[in-house]
């Protein structure tokens, strides 16, 4: 991998029915049905809609042997309809189900966290080295026969680790860490290599985008260290719906794809499965277009750790840099445009036209050649105006500069005037790579000026803007370089929607909270309540609670784990039944679905009252 230049990670080819992945094949897109796998007609109808949207694989939950066996009927009905899409069985908890599914599906996904190990209990267990080795031998005794069945049926396997379902055994040795997630994968991959089974795909997912990105990077490094090149399946679990789900998915998946990682992706939205496909295709098309770009001659700074990055050390200039959360800068062509109070930017770039009526809560950035020193206004320079920087009396100055403009003269200016905030801009097709190069050059020069990223677009469709901006910013934030974000769009989108996207990206990265966060799964055949309607009801009742994290999960498979850092959880417990959590603690079990949302709100209100009473004392 070239850190500053885009190229696809070399991966081995895996045969999944008639649609292979990895190697030089395009990045494949897929989705998962959310109807009962026992309802053949509904499954076939949904699969056809996914394929019509451009999906290349369709996954079905197989929670039992009956569901696994019914894949035969689903497969036959699809082939009779002229649809040859490969089917993927999704298996948890029961190796026998995986063995049955391998006869009827082109690929079987198993979860290392519960394939042999019992369901996660969140208890601190202790294993001696002998006991741990014994558990690994038990894993081998169940996994190798499954691989033999897959070989006989030409069935591919996905080793799919989820952050929310690491086994207690892995937790005992590694804790709830990226290293534990990677080892959970590697245990199974080593057996695949030993058994010469190469039709394996691997995935590591999390609802926390930063955890997901860092862990996939670690997995790729671990595989390379052991001579493996299995294809990668990418996805952010429980991303949610609407713009939040799109931004969060593009941030996490995009950050990895920009580095050439990923051979198949699934964008998990709490919507109808076919809605996921166009979003995934847009991401793939956007990143794939980077191939063959003009070379970027970047130099990595000493001490930077790609596998475990930390925030770049900067000094604070007013509220930018240092330990401050990243700021949001916006622009307004029409000065009369107001703000959405929930997403009011910190600074507003107005070029040469300072509006007469100004908001005192916002700082105004004005081109240096017309800046008059007015209160609450700050000058913006470009690389050709360095000779004027020293004469300008302002506690905060902005310098718009590209990587290729970062000359010795510019670096000397930044060292001489610590009140400058660097605004990185790029017209390069691979803007992320050029912005990275600029950040590293600052580090190489020992410059600690805060760094804001200016990203410009010309989009008329909000979804397109959100996906591109989130994908471009993902790795820059994860790598620790972002002290601020400045999104500018020359299309027809409203300025408020552009501002909301900037805040949404920072929230997806969990570096700045501006609204309630919802961790909601996309639903599948295990979901026994109306997930989309429930999400809408919960959002309507709680969206004013800024900073609160609420998990809305269709079933117990990943629920308690993926929402472990959520303040409250709403988890399907059975048909028409829901269990409520406060963080990891189960509060109420098996509540009738019709009462569950109100009981959740009551729990939140009671906790708020207790907190207020405690504060008063």
Check residue 557 and give its pLDDT.
61
The rounded distance, in Å, linking the Cα atoms of 367 and 209 is: 36
pLDDT digits (tens, 9 = 90+) for 246-258: 999 999 999 999 9
Residue 592 forms part of a structural domain: yes
Tokens of 221: 């490094």
- Beta strands (DSSP E) in 33-150 are 57-61, 87-91, 107-110
105-131 as b/e: b if 16+ CB within 10 A: bbbbbbbbbbbbbeebeeeeeeeeeee
Check residue 332 and give its pLDDT.
81
Q: Are residues 458 and 555 located together in one domain of the fold?
A: no
Q: Are residues 548 and 602 located together in one domain of the fold?
A: yes
Helical packing angle, 593-616 and 531-542, nearest 10°: 30
Residue 236 forms part of a structural domain: no
Check residue 613 and give its pLDDT.
78
Residues of the chain with pLDDT > 70, as a percent, come to 95
Task: Provide the number of structural domains found in the chain.
Answer: 3
The pLDDT-based confidence of 221 (bands split at 50, 70, 90) is very high
Rounded (5°) CA angle 402-209-92: 150
Check residue 558 and give its pLDDT.
56
CB neighbours of residue 492 within 10 Å = 10
Burial of 458 (0-12, 13-18, 19+ CB in 10 A): exposed
Check residue 561 and give its pLDDT.
60
Q: Are residues 540 and 432 located together in one domain of the fold?
A: no
The rounded distance, in Å, linking the Cα atoms of 424 and 383 is: 11
Q: In the predicted model, what is the mean pLDDT of residues 220-241?
A: 92
Q: Are residues 426 and 400 located together in one domain of the fold?
A: yes
CATH number at residue 407: 3.20.20
Q: Which domain holds residue 427?
A: 327-508
Q: In the predicted model, what is the mean pLDDT of residues 62-76?
A: 96
Tokens of 506: 């920072």
Q: Going by DSSP bridges, is the β-strand pair 87-91/107-110 parallel, antiparallel, or unpaired?
A: parallel
Q: Are residues 559 and 484 located together in one domain of the fold?
A: no
Rounded (5°) CA angle 66-68-71: 110
Residue ending a domain, among 200, 230, 260, is 230
Q: In the predicted model, what is the mean pLDDT of residues 599-608?
A: 89
Q: Are residues 491 and 530 located together in one domain of the fold?
A: no
Q: Are residues 562 and 463 located together in one domain of the fold?
A: no
For residues 176 and 391, the model is more confident at 391
CATH number at residue 569: 3.30.413.10
Residue 57 forms part of a structural domain: yes
Q: Are residues 437 and 479 located together in one domain of the fold?
A: yes
pLDDT greater than 90 at residue 336? no
Q: What is the 3-state secondary structure (H, E, C) of 455-481?
A: EEECCCCHHHHHHHHHHHHHHHHHCCC
Q: Tell me how far apart the terminal alpha carbons of the chain are, to the nearest angstrom.
A: 57
Residue 294 forms part of a structural domain: no
Q: Are residues 579 and 446 located together in one domain of the fold?
A: no
Q: Are residues 457 and 596 located together in one domain of the fold?
A: no
Check residue 334 and give its pLDDT.
64
The rounded distance, in Å, linking the Cα atoms of 45 and 62 is: 18
- Beta strands (DSSP E) in 250-404 are 264-265, 327-331, 347-351, 363-367, 377-382, 397-401
The pLDDT-based confidence of 553 (bands split at 50, 70, 90) is confident
Poorest-pLDDT segment among 89-103, 128-142, 469-483: 128-142
DSSP states along 475-507? HHHHTT--SEEEEEE-SS--HHHHHHHHHHHHH
Residue 78 forms part of a structural domain: yes
Burial of 466 (0-12, 13-18, 19+ CB in 10 A): buried
Check residue 115 and give its pLDDT.
87
Taking Cα atoms as reference points, which of 433, 501, 518 lies closest to residue 467? 501
Residue 188 forms part of a structural domain: yes
Check residue 518 and give its pLDDT.
86
Check residue 556 and give its pLDDT.
63
Residue 319 forms part of a structural domain: no
CATH number at residue 77: 3.20.20.20
Check residue 609 and give its pLDDT.
84
pLDDT digits (tens, 9 = 90+) for 471-488: 999 999 999 999 999 999
Check residue 435 and give its pLDDT.
98
Check residue 168 and give its pLDDT.
83
Contact 327, 484 (CB under 8 A): yes
140-161 as b/e: b if 16+ CB within 10 A: beebeebbebbeeeebbbbbbb
pLDDT greater than 60 at residue 151? yes
Calculate the average pLDDT of the chain: 92
Q: Partners of 578 in the beta sheet?
A: 572, 591
Q: Going by DSSP bridges, is the β-strand pair 87-91/397-401 parallel, antiparallel, or unpaired?
A: unpaired
For residues 348 and 613, the model is more confident at 348
Q: In the predicted model, what is the mean pLDDT of residues 58-68?
A: 96
281-313 as b/e: b if 16+ CB within 10 A: bbbbebbeebeebeebebeeeeebebeebebbe
Q: Are residues 360 and 419 located together in one domain of the fold?
A: yes
Phi-psi region of 346 (alpha: psi -120 to 50; beta: other; left: phi over 0): alpha
Residue ending a domain, among 190, 206, 230, is 230
Q: In the predicted model, what is the mean pLDDT of residues 528-536?
A: 78
- Answering whether pTM is above 0.75, one says yes
Taking Cα atoms as reference points, which of 435, 454, 483, 473 lies closest to residue 327? 483
Q: Going by DSSP bridges, is the β-strand pair 484-489/327-331 parallel, antiparallel, or unpaired?
A: parallel
Check residue 563 and give its pLDDT.
65
Burial of 193 (0-12, 13-18, 19+ CB in 10 A): middle
Residue 303 forms part of a structural domain: no
Residues of the chain with pLDDT > 90, as a percent, come to 71
CB neighbours of residue 608 within 10 Å = 12
The pLDDT-based confidence of 610 (bands split at 50, 70, 90) is confident
The rounded distance, in Å, linking the Cα atoms of 541 and 524 is: 25
Q: Are residues 605 and 485 located together in one domain of the fold?
A: no
The rounded distance, in Å, linking the Cα atoms of 105 and 351 is: 59
Check residue 555 and give its pLDDT.
67
Poorest-pLDDT segment among 112-126, 210-224, 302-316: 112-126
Residue ending a domain, among 230, 252, 283, is 230
Burial of 101 (0-12, 13-18, 19+ CB in 10 A): buried
């Amino acid at each position: 991998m070239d850190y500053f230049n885009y190229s696809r990670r070399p991966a081995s080819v895996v045969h999944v029915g008639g649609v292979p992945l990895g190697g030089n094949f395009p990045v494949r897109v897929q989705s998962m049905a959310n109807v009962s796998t026992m309802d053949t007609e509904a499954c076939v109808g949904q699969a056809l809609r996914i394929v019509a949207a451009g999906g290349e694989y369709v996954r079905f939950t197989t929670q039992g042997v009956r569901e696994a066996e019914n894949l035969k009927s689903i497969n036959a009905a699809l082939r009779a309809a002229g649809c040859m899409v490969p089917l993927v069985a999704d298996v948890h908890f029961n190796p026998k189900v995986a063995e049955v599914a391998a006869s009827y599906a082109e690929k079987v996904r198993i979860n290392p966290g519960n394939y042999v190990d019992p369901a996660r209990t969140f208890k601190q267990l202790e294993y001696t080295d002998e006991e741990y080795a014994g558990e690994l031998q038990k894993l081998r005794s169940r996994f190798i026969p499954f691989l033999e069945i897959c070989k006989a049926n030409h069935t591919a396997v996905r080793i799919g680790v989820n952050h929310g379902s690491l086994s207690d055994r892995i937790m005992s040795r590694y804790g709830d860490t990226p290293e534990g997630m990677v080892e959970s994968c590697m245990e199974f991959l080593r057996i695949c290599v030993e058994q010469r089974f190469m039709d394996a795909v691997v995935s590591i997912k999390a609802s926390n985008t930063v955890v997901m990105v860092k862990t996939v990077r670690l997995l790729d490094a671990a595989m390379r260290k052991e001579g493996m090149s299995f294809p990668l399946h990418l996805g952010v679990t429980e991303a949610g719906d609407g713009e939040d789900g799109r931004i969060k998915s593009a941030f996490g998946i995009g950050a990895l794809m920009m580095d050439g990682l990923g051979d198949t992706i699934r964008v998990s939205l709490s919507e109808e499965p076919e809605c996921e496909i166009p979003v995934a295709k847009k991401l793939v098309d956007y990143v794939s277009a980077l191939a063959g770009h003009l070379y970027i001659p970047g130099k990595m700074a000493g001490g930077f750790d790609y596998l475990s990055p930390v925030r770049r050390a900067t000094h604070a200039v007013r509220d930018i840099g240092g330990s401050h959360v990243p700021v949001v800068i916006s622009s307004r062509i029409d000065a009369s445009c107001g703000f959405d109070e929930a997403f009011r930017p910190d600074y507003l770039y107005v070029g040469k036209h300072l509006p007469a009526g100004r908001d005192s809560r916002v700082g105004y950035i004005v081109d240096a050649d017309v800046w008059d020193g007015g209160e609450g206004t700050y000058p913006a320079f470009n690389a050709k105006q360095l000779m004027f920087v020293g004469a300008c009396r302002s506690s905060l100055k902005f310098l718009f500069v590209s990587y290729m403009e970062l000359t010795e003269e510019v670096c000397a200016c930044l060292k001489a005037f610590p009140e400058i905030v660097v605004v990185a801009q790029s017209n390069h097709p691979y803007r992320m790579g050029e912005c990275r190069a600029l950040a590293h050059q600052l580090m190489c020069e020992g410059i600690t000026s805060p760094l804001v990223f200016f990203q410009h677009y010309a989009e008329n469709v909000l979804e397109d803007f959100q996906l591109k901006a989130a994908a471009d910013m993902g790795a820059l934030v994860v790598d620790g370089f972002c002290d601020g974000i400045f999104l500018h769009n020359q299309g027809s989108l409203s300025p408020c929607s552009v501002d909301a996207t900037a805040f949404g990206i920072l929230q997806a990265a969990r570096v700045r909270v501006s609204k309630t966060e919802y961790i909601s799964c996309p639903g599948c055949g295990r979901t026994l309540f109306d997930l989309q309607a429930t999400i809408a009801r919960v959002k309507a009742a709680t969206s004013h609670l800024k900073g609160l994290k609420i998990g809305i999960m269709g079933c117990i498979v990943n629920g308690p784990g993926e929402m472990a850092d959520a303040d409250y959880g709403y988890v399907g417990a059975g048909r028409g039944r829901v269990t409520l959590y406060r963080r990891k603690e189960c509060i109420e079990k098996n509540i009738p679905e019709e009462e569950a949302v109100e009981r959740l709100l009551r729990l939140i209100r009671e906790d708020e009252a207790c907190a207020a009473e405690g504060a008063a004392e």
